[in-house]
Amino acid sequence: MITLKDVKKVFSSKSGLVTAVDGINLEINKGEIFGVIGYSGAGKSTLIRMFNQLEKPTEGSIMVAGRDMAKISGRELRVARQETGMIFQHFNLLWSRTVRDNIAFPLEISGVRKAEQRKRVDELIELVGLKGRELAYPSELSGGQKQRVGIARALANNPKVLLCDEATSALDPQTTDSILDLLVDINERLGLTIILITHEMHVIRKICHRVAVMENGRVVEQGDVLSVFKNPKEEITRRFVGQLTEPEDTQETAEHLLEKFPNGKVIQLTFVGEETEQPLITNVIRNFDITVNILQGKISHLQTGSYGTLFVHVDGPDTEINKVIDYIRSQAVDVEVISNG
């Protein structure tokens, strides 16, 4: 569906040349939700804007639905942009137009007849959950409602691809979840390919099938979300995953327990898929001569399965603790000793 080969973007500035995107190679499948995550300055916004030629690459090719976006212009580019909808962090609505007229705007530009416009706008209002708000102006809408208008407008011309540029960053957590649920629904109903950039791992965790991690203009790690959660290879990826799996006070709690039980060990257990549902700790307590203190734990439900982490302190003879670790590993659960007494 989408292939990027050796994509590079260099800007000129007063201090010289700045490489914002540096040699990106990606394959994005038809119908998947693909996430790009990185901190500010990583190059992710520049990257997504090259998908519809809001930014033109300095080098490389960007194939979207059979077209090289780096090489087209004029009418062909206008058609390609109709097939690539985009939603933005700050909504970019027309403030003098109602909800209905905002959604109709791209249809007007495309020369769609009035009767067809009305029919399509009605369908989209129903799809994004804005029935009853058709005649409201953007100033009368909540942040979530504004973004729903933005999504409906982006879908007006039946695009094949939907680009989301930090689409939930201006929203509160509850509204963010409702917008993410809407995107999943759209993906499943329409078979739409969605490319979503963010700096929030919660967004990736909740809806993405695969993810690419960007740093300093490069993709440093990519893969399906479950694999990246389970085995993050780069330090930046571990930091993102840690936002969801490692409570801030875990280390403090571990140090306190190690002072109290100097011969114990603090271990981190990582569960994936069905392993998140087994009574592992109960079995350990029943079958081994050790004491167990649960420090912190969390299970995250991803698009492709479940992922959980559990931090525990185990105390007892070293030989027995080692048996426990071996037993846990035999249950297809990863074990890492993060602190020793």
Superfamily of domain 2-243: P-loop containing nucleotide triphosphate hydrolases (3.40.50.300)
Each residue of 234-270: pLDDT tens digit?
A: 999 988 887 766 555 556 666 666 676 667 788 888 8
φ and ψ of 270, to 5 deg:
-120, 120
The torsion angle over the Cα atoms of residues 110, 168, 166 and 185, rounded to 10 degrees, is -60
Q: Are 197 and 44 in contact (CB under 8 A)?
A: yes
CA distance 148 to 169: 14
pLDDT at 218 over 90: yes
Q: pLDDT band at 307, cuts 50/70/90?
A: confident
Each residue of 63-117: pLDDT tens digit?
A: 988 888 888 888 888 888 888 999 988 889 999 999 999 999 999 999 999 999 9
The torsion angle over the Cα atoms of residues 157, 36, 173 and 301, rounded to 10 degrees, is 100
Q: Please state, as a whole number, how many other Cβ atoms lie within 10 Å of the Cβ of residue 110.
A: 13
Average pLDDT, integer, range 266-275: 76
- For the chain, the domains span 2-243, 246-340
Indicate the range of 8-17, 117-126, 290-299 predicted with least confidence: 290-299
pLDDT for the residue numbered 297: 79
Each residue of 116-167: pLDDT tens digit?
A: 999 999 999 999 999 999 999 999 999 999 999 999 999 999 999 999 999 9
Rounded to two decimals, what is the model's pTM?
Answer: 0.81
The length of the chain is 341
Q: Are 204 and 35 in contact (CB under 8 A)?
A: yes
- The CATH code for residues 246-340 is 3.30.70.260
Q: 3-state class of 126 per DSSP?
A: helix
pLDDT for the residue numbered 238: 87
